[in-house]
Structure 1
Amino acid sequence: MEGIVLQNVSPSDFKNLYNEVKELSRNVKSLAEKKQQEKITPEEAAEEIGVTTQTIYAYIKSGKIPASKLGRKLVIKRIDLEQALIDVKSLNYKR
């Protein structure tokens, strides 16, 4: 196993750097969790994955992509879209 050699770094500087990296790591995890809970419209989903909106609506109607109504708008959780893509890809490989 290889290691990192730090030269001219005091123990207090190292501790400060370590704490900063730890804090950044927590922030990245928090942002990733928020992104997964983000809700997008079928139009945004279609643009993001490169299909037509008709395809997205067909997947919603068939139950492959869970969606809910927010007022008068239909919305999809980003995590549900990603999971649906995984499921569809695995179906294609099983054939």
Structure 2
Amino acid sequence: MRDKAPQSRRPRRTAAGPVAAHPTGSALAAVGHALAEHAEVEFAAAATGQTNIIAAVRCRGTEELYAYLNDKIGALDGIRTVETALMLRQIKQLTLAPAAVPG
């Protein structure tokens, strides 16, 4: 029988995924600025299309994700609806290359 890895060596469970918010028109900027202050938000942007704001959120698990959606997103004035999806696997991560120095 295989021993389980010690607690400190176990991979941390995370719940990550996009959060698409539909604030009322006048609340768009305020909601965007509020999301930018949340520690769970890794990326946030105003968008066109079916949603007005898209954010990438990372939590330690589904319980923390639920608490985040309920307590922080739910508390924002002007939010009409929120759509979430869990990312099952990340295929590629954007990385910034250092700027070339003219030589």
Greater strand proportion: 2
TM-score of the aligned structures, taking structure 1 as reference length = 0.28
Which structure has the larger Rg over C-alpha atoms? Answer: 1
Larger relative contact order (C-alpha < 8 A, sep ≥ 6)?
A: 2
Greater helix proportion: 1
